[in-house]
Homo-oligomer: A and B are copies of this chain.
Amino acid sequence: MSRVGRQTFVYDHPPRIAARTSIVGPKEGKGPLSDQFDILLDDDLLGMKSWELAEGEMVRRAVDHTLKQANLSADAVQAMISGDLNNQIIASSFAARALGIPFFGQYGACSTFVQSLVLGGALLSGGFLENAICCASSHFCTAERQFRMPLEMGTQRPPQASWTSTACGCALLTANAQPQDLKVCSGTVGRVVDQQIKDANHMGAAMAPAVYDTIVAHLEDTGRTANDYDLIATGDLGWIGRNLLMELFKRGGVDMPDGKLIDCGNSLFSQEQDPHAGGSGCGCVAAVSCGWLMRRVESGELRRILIAGSGAMLSPTSTLQGETIPSISYAVCIEGGA
């Protein structure tokens, strides 16, 4: 069975993660997970002349590093499934131009990395691809310029705002498994959920109901409970959003032990680094997953995890027009190899 319930794909031939790369920027590299990433940038411009070009270069380096780890050339990869927060996803498409890999541009806001794993998992399990790059990135400076205020203005951020991370995560899915490689076992496709939050600085509140909707769908579709997972990681709700999600589970009668659920945005930064509500951005869940979380599964510390990425599908235009914030979440189940 390739699909169970309405929203969940179960991969009959679970793709393996042959290699992966996590890159984080200077602030992220000083956080509590600093020794869990592959590449720590000391210059968030990466030697480029604009932040947008820098983000594209970060994606290109992440893919390049991943291919080198797997000892593969770009020619051996049939698809790059990737996106970012920039208008018209220029970080991913500029990287895809440099790499020459057939490209599926995705937009799921900060859920994009998990969206790409869910799609990539299906395309590999279905025999359409042999190797696929699943990737997402974000950059604090491109996101602030685009969604909020030019950094040069030095605008004060409200306490409920999250800090868009400068980060990129990239996973190479392969049908040519090595027994020790991590498995992508199932994926749940989210619905767009909107609980009428209008504050574009309060994304944890906007996204928590979407994450609730998707995790509940995943558990119902698969007939599992939270206890079937060693860890459930959201990305990224931040401290406020995670509390709201726990409240939703409580109200909905869903058993979710408090220690079971962590948030990537809360893990990337310490509160002393003053990210306000926590880390966010496509790159946060991508880098924390490809770095810290997958390492813990690989080491055997965790056997099976669920990563629930979430995205706020707002635009600066919809915010200016007074619209509420539609949100979405995708979930993917990762298990250890043999």
Interface residues of A (CB under 8 A from B): 1-3, 6-7, 9, 50, 52-53, 75, 78-79, 83, 86-90, 93-94, 96-97, 100-109, 115, 119, 122-123, 125-130, 146, 189-194, 313-318, 321, 323, 326, 328
Whether B103 and A191, one on each chain, are in contact in the complex, defined by CB atoms closer than 8 angstroms, is yes
Closest to A7 in B: B102
A115 with B106: CB separation less than 8 A? no
Is A102 within 8 A of B191, CB to CB? yes
Contact B101 A191 (CB under 8 A): yes
Verify B119–A104 contact, CB threshold 8 A. Answer: yes
Quick one: given A87-B87, A119-B119, are A3 and B318 in contact (CB under 8 Å)?
no
Complex Cα spacing A191 to B102, Å: 4
Roughly how many angstroms separate A264 CA and B109 CA in the complex, as a whole number?
Answer: 31
What copy number does this chain have within its complex? 2
Q: How far is the CA of A315 from the CA of B79 in the complex (A)?
A: 22
* A9 and B126 alpha carbons, distance in the complex (Å): 11
22 A-B pairs with CB atoms under 8 Å apart are A2-B126, A3-B127, A3-B130, A6-B75, A6-B102, A7-B78, A52-B317, A53-B321, A53-B323, A83-B107, A86-B315, A88-B315, A94-B326, A97-B193, A97-B326, A101-B191, A102-B189, A103-B328, A104-B189, A105-B106, A105-B108, A122-B123
Residue of A6, A79, A105, A109 with most partner-chain B CB within 10 A: A105
Instruction: Report the Cα distance A126→B121, complex, angstroms.
Output: 11
Determine the chain B residues whose CB is within 8 A of the CB of A192 once the complex forms: 93, 96-97, 100, 103
Within the complex, the shortest CB–CB distance from A257 to chain B, in Å, comes to: 27
Task: Name A100's contact: one of B123, B191, B313, B318 (CB within 8 Å).
Answer: B191
Q: Assess whether A129 is in contact with B3, with CB atoms less than 8 Å apart.
A: yes
Beyond A93-B326, A119-B119, 20 additional pairs, beta carbon < 8 A: A2-B126, A6-B102, A50-B321, A52-B317, A52-B321, A53-B323, A87-B316, A88-B313, A88-B314, A90-B313, A90-B314, A94-B318, A96-B326, A97-B194, A97-B313, A102-B189, A105-B106, A123-B126, A125-B126, A126-B127
Contact: A317 with B191, CB < 8 Å? no
Q: Which residue of B lies closest to A111 (CB)?
A: B105
A122 touches B115 (CB 8 A): no
Residue among B6, B313, B317 making CB contact with A78, cutoff 8 Å = B6
Q: B residues within 8 A CB of A146?
A: 317
Question: What residues on B are CB-neighbors of A122 within 8 Å?
Answer: 122-123, 126, 128
CB distance from A284 to the nearest CB of B (A): 18
Residue of B nearest to A12 (CB): B127
- Which residues of chain B have C-beta atoms less than 8 A from A189's C-beta? 78-79, 102-104
Q: Judging by beta carbons under 8 Å apart, are B109 and A107 in contact?
A: no
Q: How far is the CA of A34 from the CA of B297 in the complex (A)?
A: 58
Least Cβ distance of A293 to chain B in Å?
23
In angstroms, Cα B125 to Cα A128, docked, is: 10
Give the shortest distance, in Å, between A172 (CB) and chain B (any CB).
16
When distances are taken between beta carbons in the complex, the residues of chain B under 8 Å from A326 are 93-94, 96-97
The reply to whether A115 and B126 form a contact with Cβ atoms under 8 Å apart is: no
Which of A7, A9, A100 counts the most chain B CB atoms within 10 A? A9
